[in-house]
Structure 1
Amino acid sequence: MAKTIFITGASRGFGRIWTESFLKRGDNVVATVRNLDALTVLTKEFPTSLLVIKLDVTDKKASFEAIQTANKHFGAIDVLINNSGYGHIGAIEELSEQDVRTQFETNVLGSLWTIQAVLPIMREQKSGQIIQLSSALGINTVSLMGLYSASKFAVEGLTETLAGEVSGFGIKVTILEPGGYSTDFFGTNSLALSEAIPAYEVIRKDFYAHADHQDSGKPEATVQAILSLVDAENPPLRLTLGKVALPWIKHTYEERLKTWESWQDVSTAAHG
């Protein structure tokens, strides 16, 4: 049975690939973009099953209106995929106030607004699925991407809490945690840079050297995973994408547990 899927950030990368895949298998898709021309070809190929809406996800009012337009157009919203977002490179000392505000307004609030907008519809339907794009950097950190990680850590906390709050309404929630992929994430449209401080130049060189040689996944290879997730009767709360994320996450948690346990006497004494 065809589903109606609302997906943000559909003009490129995962969003574009997933949009096309849903359409090809017969689903209805509401795709939000900043530039309507980005999906002209798909609009001509799928004139009745694709609705393209221009949206800046940081605009709360516009996000609520987009959800209402989608629901009115197709009569339901079965799945919300919050894919819109961008990365940021800059040492913590280099971050400007505007860097921080813009990153959180897009990656965190941009997701929150569509979630808040769609929940009344899904509660009335007594069904629905919310898929939130996080990152392996929502659990791990690397130098120069602290702001991006901070935004994804926030997304993880909000989304995990959401899952518990809405489970009684028949709404399912999944956090996607991709590792590195060969999308245009490091392109000018998906990445912001802080003004550099020379003291961090060595770290910066190491960062880009590692980025150039990482084992990046193929975005197209995620299609079956996203289709399986949408079709799952009991989707997981968290799903990693690619072969890099899970080993990295396991290492991170092992190190955290070692640290907590080695200081447990101090922690227990602090209880009083």
Structure 2
Amino acid sequence: MARRWLITGCSSGLGWALARAAAAAGDRVLATARRPETLAELRDHFPETVETCALDVRDPAACAAAVRLAEQRFGGVDVLVNNAGYGVLGAVEELTDEEVEAQLQTLLLGPWRMTRLVLPLMRAQRSGHLLMVSSTAGRMGMVGLGAYCAAKFALEGMTETLALETAGSGVRITLLEAGGYATHYGASLVDAATRLPEYRSAVDQMGGLIRGEVPSDFKLSLPEEFAEAVLALVRDAAEPPLRFPLGAGAWEMITGAAERDRAARTELAERLGVALPTG
């Protein structure tokens, strides 16, 4: 049976690839973007299965309108993918309240709002899959990405809580913890208005990595691989994992961060001469 998708942030990259793959698989897709003209090719290629609309997830009225459109055209939503996002590049000391708030509006409050709007539909039909596009930055800090990491950490906390609250409802919940993908994400990276010389070297190095200056021995994953993995997860996983690291370096970065924490804890215990709890 064809599934009904609502995907945010489909103008390019992961959202575009996923919308295209779902439509190619015969599912119905409401693909959204702040600039809906970027979706014309997708809609024209799949005129029978793809609907498009303008959606800025920071706008409550636009979010409600998108969900209403999915109900009108498809009769409901089976899969919500909260994918829309961008990053602001700047050290914690450099970022203004407004820059931090903008990140939280897009990366946390937007997905929270969309989830709140779609969840009653899924609970009523006792089925559905909520997918939050997170990142390895939702598990570890990264230089120059303090606001981005804060938003993704918060998204992970909200999603884990949601999974506990909806247990037994028939609604599946998954965090897609994305690693390195060959997308145009770097083009949307916004530099903080304030630039302090104390942080320039480290922050600019991170900016270069995000904008494509990756080491020659690091192979980025393709958006099409992301789409294939997500389709398989939605189609085949009756009990999907809460966290699903995917993409180049994702698993290695997450496990590496955990191992560094373990090593630091062991070193501290040895230096203090105490036995720390193991639980």
Return the TM-score normalized by structure 2. Answer: 0.90
Aligned equivalents of 2:121 and 2:198: distance in 1?
51
**1:130 and 2:130 equivalent?**
yes
Match of 2:196 in 1: 197
Whole-angstrom CA distance in 2 between matches of 1:221 and 1:242: 8
Task: Give the match for residue 241 of structure 1.
Answer: 246
| Residue equivalent to 1:228 | 232
Shift, 1:267, TM fit:
7.7
- Matches of 1:55 and 1:9 in 2, distance apart? 8
Question: How far apart, CA to CA, are the structure 2 residues paired with 1:132 and 1:209?
Answer: 26
Q: Does 1:252 align with 2:257?
A: yes
Q: Which residue of 2 aligns with 1:147?
A: 147
Aligned-pair CA distance for 1:218: 1.9
User: What letter corresponds to residue 92 of structure 2 in structure 1?
Assistant: I
Structure-1 residue corresponding to 2:78: 78
Does the 8 Å contact 2:8/2:82 carry over to 1? yes
Distance 1:16 1:182 in 2: 13
Q: Is the 8 A contact 2:31 2:51 kept in 1?
A: yes
Measured after TM superposition, the shift of residue 200 of structure 1 is 1.4
**Which AA in structure 2 matches 1:121?**
L
Output the CA distance in 2 between the equivalents of 1:84 and 1:64. Answer: 16
Residue deviations 1:163-191 (CA, integer Å, cap 9, x gap): 1111221000000011121111110xx21
Quote the offset at 1:159 in angstroms.
0.6
The CA distance in 2 between the partners of 1:76 and 1:205, in whole Å, is 44
Secondary structure at the counterpart of residue 134 of structure 1: strand
Question: How big is the shift at 1:39?
Answer: 1.2
Aligned to 1:99: 99
2:31 maps to 31
The one-letter amino acid paired with 1:199 is: E
**Structure 1 residue identity aligned to 2:231:** L
SS at match of 1:251: helix
- Count of matched residue pairs: 266
- The residue type paired with residue 251 of structure 1 is G
1:207 and 2:211 are equivalent in the alignment: no
What runs of 5+ residues in structure 2 fail to find an aligned partner? none
Separation (CA, whole Å) in 2 of partners of 1:79 and 1:209: 34
1:123 and 1:26 map into 2 onto residues whose CA distance is 24
C-alpha displacement at 1:205, in angstroms? 4.0
Give 1:248 deviation, angstroms: 1.3
1:14-33 per-residue CA deviation (whole Å, 9 max, x = no partner) reads: 00011011111100001111
User: Cα deviation per residue 1:109-136 (whole Å; 9 max; x = unaligned)?
Assistant: 0100100000110010011100000001
Identity of aligned residues (%): 37
Given the alignment of the two structures, is residue 172 of structure 1 paired with residue 177 of structure 2, yes or no?
no
Task: Tell me which moved more, 196-205 or 98-107.
Answer: 196-205
> In 2, distance between residues paired with 1:7 and 1:53?
11
SS at match of 2:186: coil
Matched AA of 1:183: T
How far the C-alpha of 1:208 sits from its partner, in A, is 4.3
Using a 3 Å threshold, how does the CA distance of structure 1 residues 210 and 53 change in structure 2: closer, same or farther? closer
Distance 1:209 1:117 in 2: 37
Q: In structure 1, give the amino acid aligned to 2:164.
A: G
Say which SS state the counterpart of residue 115 (structure 2) adopts.
helix
Distance of 1:46 and 1:217 partners within structure 2: 25
Aligned to 2:62: 62
Is 1:53 equivalent to 2:53 in the alignment?
yes
Answering whether residue 87 of structure 2 is matched by residue 87 of structure 1, we say yes
- Which stretch of the first structure deviates more once superposed, 74-83 or 199-208? 199-208
Helix, strand or coil: the match of 2:159? Answer: helix
Question: Equivalent residue of 1:84, what SS?
Answer: coil
TM-score scaled by structure 1? 0.92
Q: Distance in 1 between matches of 2:149 and 2:275?
A: 29
Q: How many Å separate the matches in 2 of 1:209 and 1:113?
A: 32
Distance 1:39 1:134 in 2: 23
Give the partner amino acid of 1:201: R
Q: Secondary structure at the match of 1:5?
A: strand
Q: Secondary structure at the match of 1:53?
A: strand
